[in-house]
Structure 1
Amino acid sequence: MFHVYILYSKKLDRFYIGYTSKLDRRLEFHLNPTKTNAFTAKAKDWDIYFNLECETKSQALAIEKHIKKMKSKIFIENLTRYPEMSTKLIEKYKSL
């Protein structure tokens, strides 16, 4: 099982989009970065804003890319507001 996740930092008022197979471990990495130049090292208050379970790695990568390509805070906010958007993304990239 893979996850496409979106983190939110209240301090930065920014989102971070990623994918992983181990969500808890990945969140811990973002909260305690080993590289000080990593984007998420700029804040320590990252919370999971959105999480979407995917069947395969390629599906997760495609959905992550789709969300990043939108470059829209409103799109990200709508993912939590309208659950049918998640369903459509899963269906669109199901065959991957």
Structure 2
Amino acid sequence: MHCLYILYSKTVDKYYVGESHNVEERILKHNEHAYKGSFSKIANDWELCLKLALDTSSDAIYLEKFIKRMKSKVFIEKIISNPDILLDILLKKKK
């Protein structure tokens, strides 16, 4: 099982969107700056805002890219308050 996740950093007031099969380990790595070229290196206080379990890694990657293409903090906050939006996006993709 794969998960889409959204992290938030209070110090930089930014969100980070990613996908992984082990979200807890991934958060630790983001906060330890294990990904040197990653956007997440700008902070070390990333906290989990949303974790959405999906059937396939391709669904998680599709949603991650979809959210990143939107380039919208408002959109991310809407997703956090209503994760069903993401399931609707997947349904439209599969039609």
Same fold (TM over 0.5): yes
| Bin for the TM-score computed over the shorter chain | 0.7 to 0.9
Aligned to 2:84: 84
Are 1:21 and 2:18 matched, yes or no?
no
- Identity of paired residues, percent? 36
Q: Matches of 2:35 and 2:58 in 1, distance apart? A: 26
- Deviation of 1:42 (Å): 1.9
Is the counterpart of residue 57 in structure 1 residue 46 in structure 2?
no
Flag structure 1 segments of 5+ consecutive residues without an equivalent: none
> Structure 1 residue runs of 4+, over 3 Å off?
35-38, 92-95
Equivalent position SS for 2:34: coil
Q: How far is the alpha carbon of 1:80 from its aligned partner?
A: 1.9
Number of the residue aligned with 1:69: 69
- Listed one character per residue, the Cα deviations across residues 20-51 of structure 1 (whole Å, up to 9, x for unaligned) are 11111111101112355532222111001111
Q: Give the aligned partner of residue 48 of structure 2.
A: 48
Q: Deviations over 1:35-81 (max 9, x none)?
A: 55532222111001111111101111111111111111110000122
Aligned pair in 2 of structure 1 residues 61, 83: CA closer, same or farther (>3 Å)?
closer
Q: TM (normalized to structure 2)? A: 0.86
SS of the residue corresponding to residue 53 of structure 2 reads strand
Structure 2: unaligned runs, 5 residues or longer: none
Separation of aligned partners in 2, 1:94 and 1:64:
16
Distance in 1 (alpha carbons) for counterparts of 2:87 and 2:8: 22
Report the alpha carbon displacement of residue 93 of structure 1 after superposing the two structures with TM: 4.3
Q: Classify the secondary structure of the residue corresponding to 1:27.
A: helix
| Equivalent residue letter for 1:30 | H
